[in-house]
A = this chain, B = another copy of it.
Amino acid sequence: MGEDVYVVGIDMIKFGRFPNKSLAELGSEAALLALDDAGLRIQDIEAMWCGNLMQANNMVGQQILQLIGQTGIPVVNCANACATGATAFRDAWLSIKAGVYDVVLAVGVEQMGKGLLGGAGGGRGISKEGLTGSMTMPAVFAEAGMEHARKYGTTFEQFAKVSVKNHHHSTLNPKAMYQIETPLDQVMNAEMISYPNTKLMCSVNVDGSAAAVLVSAKKAKQLGMKRAVKVRASILTSDPWQERDLVMPDVNSCTRLAAKKAYEMAGVGASDIDLVELHDCFATAEILHYENLGLCKDGEAGRMIDAGESALGGRIPVNVSGGLLSKGHPLGATGIANIYEVSTHLRGEAGKRQVEGAKLGMTHVIGLGSACAIHILEKAA
């Protein structure tokens, strides 16, 4: 099925708040970093996909090229709520698979406001039975967590431990927004946003950008396979009407469908995966996704966090980057930033937070509205 696709350059800026930079400036920084990482020039790029949510109608990709070099290449701007960056990456992947291009660039960039993640962006104006139309994001993910607690007895403390773990991971990641430990009592005693998620259990609104250079097998061989990462699966889903979770269709059914398809495409199972970057937009979400992605059986996510299985050094490290909870969550950039993190481990370049011997990794994002993207990536050489 089409050509094999490799990532040969990938990078992100340190997430933060940059009110004095333009969106295009932020995006161009990541684009140049990724090109530099690949050892390529802007003239080598044959097409570009740009993921940005908040200014999706504003030709952001073209603006970036106006800053770093206009060569006349095709530029597509795409938006898919919190799956925006991953969607840009996937469209770029399709274009290489089609044999139409050998070298393409995917950029994800977002400039957020301050404060907590509200109902803005992907969820705006969407009317559907249930949750996402009428509730803010914190309420949506609080209710999802409480439904898990009702079914399986998951505790406030278990949810809070997700945040303790991810904040700890972020102390080892110089590109995370925060590098601070948040002990369990601090997480549990932080301002309550929507039970059971306190302020330290909500993702951090930051500005950020990430970019990847995707190439054909032919080009990857030319450039040298040593640091190349092979895309083993690229899956995007929306809400399935049949067999869907009525409480959280966007989050649960969408992710389960994507995970099933991703494992099928890659020809691997959850037990083969060495690390996962998943969509911890709230601490409760990470708990749900352990089960949605098959990292543990249904109902065992609470036990999994208690046992430290998802911590660095554990059975299946999750969000070693610090995750959305501490690295930060610039919506359009997150999907590619996750792929950067996994790629960095597969290359053995993750420094103090390296997952030793990582050969296969998974990234996951969900956007309410609905879009779930999963990528399975493999060390190429």
Q: Which residue of B74, B238, B257 contacts A65 across the interface (Cβ within 8 Å)?
A: B238
**Contact call A99/B1, Cβ cutoff below 8 A:** yes
**Contact call B80/A79, Cβ cutoff below 8 A:** no
Chain B residues in 8 Å Cβ range of A62: 126, 238-239, 369-371
Q: Is A70 an interface residue (CB 8 A)?
A: yes
Chain B nearest CB: distance from A131 CB in Å? 14
* Given A94-B98, A125-B58, A367-B59, CB of A254 within 8 Å of CB of B78: no
In residues 57-98 of chain A, which contact B (Cβ within 8 Å)? 57-59, 62-63, 65-66, 69-81, 87, 90-91, 94-95, 97-98
**Interface size class for chain A?**
35 or more
**Contact call B124/A57, Cβ cutoff below 8 A:** yes
Q: How many Å lie between the Cα of A241 and that of B69 in the bound state?
A: 8
Q: Which residue of B lies closest to A74 (CB)?
A: B236
**Contact call B125/A240, Cβ cutoff below 8 A:** no
**Contact call B74/A77, Cβ cutoff below 8 A:** no
Q: Is A337 an interface residue (CB 8 A)?
A: no
* Total copies of the chain: 2
**Contact call A121/B57, Cβ cutoff below 8 A:** yes
Q: Is A128 an interface residue (CB 8 A)?
A: yes
**Contact call A371/B75, Cβ cutoff below 8 A:** yes
**Contact call B2/A73, Cβ cutoff below 8 A:** no
Chain B residues in 8 Å Cβ range of A70: 238-241
Q: Which residue of B72, B99, B126, B254 contacts A59 across the interface (Cβ within 8 Å)?
A: B126
**Besides the contacts A57-B121, A62-B371, A72-B241, what 12 more A-B pairs have beta carbons closer than 8 Å?**
A2-B99, A3-B98, A54-B57, A55-B57, A57-B124, A59-B126, A62-B239, A72-B238, A72-B253, A94-B94, A94-B100, A98-B98
